[in-house]
Structure 1
Amino acid sequence: MFKGKTILVTGATSGIGYKVCLDLLDAGAKIFAVGRNQDQLAALQKLQPENVQTLAFDLTQFTKYSETFASVPGLDGVVCSAGIADSNPLRFFSLEKYQRTVDINQTAPIALVAELARNRKLNAGASIVLLASIMGTKIGRNGGAAYAGTKAALTGFAKVMALELANKSIRVNCVSPGMVNTELADNQSEVSTEARQVDMQRYPLEKRYAEAAEVSSAIRFLLSNQSSFMTGENLVVDGGYCAQ
């Protein structure tokens, strides 16, 4: 399905982004993997050296985008998966934490797509997938104002970018998962194991969180020609959480 296609993935060294890379490689794609963990990038490249290019880069270094992404080949797809989920309740609000969340989750995806579009790195018919969340687009949660705001913003970006790039047959969509069993979820130290178990019971489908593979499948669908007439949309993967 993806043989001969080249797809750039941010957040490629962990969680959903890493799983997307593995799945796309299995499907015959070439990957341009962007992440901050050089060891993980090297390990990813060793899997299929002929099909993986890597770039160790902090996506908040906006002034370096032009020089950094100049070497990117023509792309048939982009997956913006890099993100953070720091708790930042209003009572203890940190402007520094808020701005970092905005920079990584919200500004980086639109800055990257703009950079690639301006420099004609997106092939006609390319598909862009932004990793949003049901947090912000469908639900709220204490301490998550910054995270929710950034993820809701991505769905708005997708609609606008879909219109701006439609004349080149380039599609832009979002995937919004609920909670997913990844390092990002595991590293939320303010949430106890007991609280996680209680939260899982709120997911109607099997009383559990999604696996990264289940979100990756939705992303692959939006990257593929099977979704060729979908753009500006937000595909929810939440085990029925928002149906309640």
Structure 2
Amino acid sequence: MINPFSLANKNILVTGASSGIGKQIAISTAAMGASVHITARDTNRLDNTLKQLGDGHHRHYLADLTIGEELDALTDSLPNLDGLVLSAGIVKTLPFKFVNHTELDTIMQTNFFSPIVLLNKLLRKKKLNKNCSVVFISSIGGNFIGAKGNSMYSASKGAINAMQKVIALELAPQKIRVNNVSPGMVRTAMLENTTAFSQEQIENDEKNYPLGYGEVTDVANAVIYLLADASKWVTGTSLLIDGGFTIQ
């Protein structure tokens, strides 16, 4: 029986692969048979991810996607791709009245401009194969909910969601699909080590999720679906995975 979720013989690039959700996506896609190409800014953590990918034609590329020259070098080094997962991102909690141009520019540069420019460069250099699947990692904060202190982050993810729909329409003639995964709160090392919230605050917040907080594997499994042939008729959508948070 043919497995529609298999990623065998697919070249897939995962950005932000040195930690958290991006790292798990890289590990999970490799386990599904893909040749995984990973990129991030931290050499040691990127090496650690590569070691966990197991046997296969996997490669890693050290790059800061906010720097044009490094973005160009990465694009030139990559093979033609069957899948692209744009996972690199940062979070900055700040009440709106304290938002300033510098902080806003930093978040928009990492969360919005960098993945969009990378995708643009890959298209221009014809690095995306026919039937390629592009997956942005967004958030329920992008267009489903609002949370105090998250105006900048929500704006960056909302911009991704809006542009993604138009890109999906424009690339449909090439059978290139463009979707995003919008997770709720997921347990990562960043959450465990945060000083912005107390453990009591985190525990109380988790009670708002009917199924509790998610795991990084939950997001990775959703990405696998969107990368695989199982979703060949899905484009321009936001796949909401939030443990029931937004149905209340």
The two structures have a TM-score, normalised by structure 1, of: 0.95
* Percent of pairs with identical residues: 37
Q: Hey, what does 1:185 align to over in structure 2? A: 191
**Secondary structure at 2:38 match in 1:** strand
Q: Secondary structure at the match of 2:134?
A: strand
**Structure 2: segments with no counterpart, 5+ residues:** 1-5
CA displacement 1:72-131 (0-9 Å, x = unmatched)? 100000000111111121232232221111001111111111010110000000000000
CA contact (8 A) 1:88 1:97 kept: no
Unpaired segments ≥5 residues, structure 1: none
Moved more, 60-69 or 33-42: 60-69
Distance in 1 (alpha carbons) for counterparts of 2:199 and 2:18: 25
Matches within 5 A, 1:44-63: 44-47=49-52, 48=54, 50-63=56-69
2:185–2:242 contact (8 Å) kept in structure 1: yes
Matching residue within 92, 95, 99 for 1:93: 99
Give 1:191 shift: 1.2
What is the aligned partner in structure 2 of residue 6 from structure 1? Answer: 11
- Equivalent residue number for residue 230 of structure 1: 234
What is the CA–CA distance in structure 2 between the aligned matches of 1:68 and 1:186, rounded to whole Å? 32
Q: Offset of 1:49 from its aligned partner? A: 6.2
The alpha-carbon deviation at position 166 of structure 1 amounts to 0.9
Aligned partner letter, 1:6: N
Is 2:227 aligned against 1:209? no
Matches for 1:129-148 after TM superposition, within 5 Å: 129-148=135-154
SS in 1 for 2:132: strand
Paired residue total? 242
Provide, for residues 126-170 of structure 1, a one-character-per-residue CA deviation record: whole Å limited to 9, x for no partner. Answer: 000000100131111111100001111111121011111111100
Give the TM-score of the pair, scaled to structure 2: 0.94
**Cα RMSD over matched residues?**
1.3
Match of 1:60, SS state, is: coil
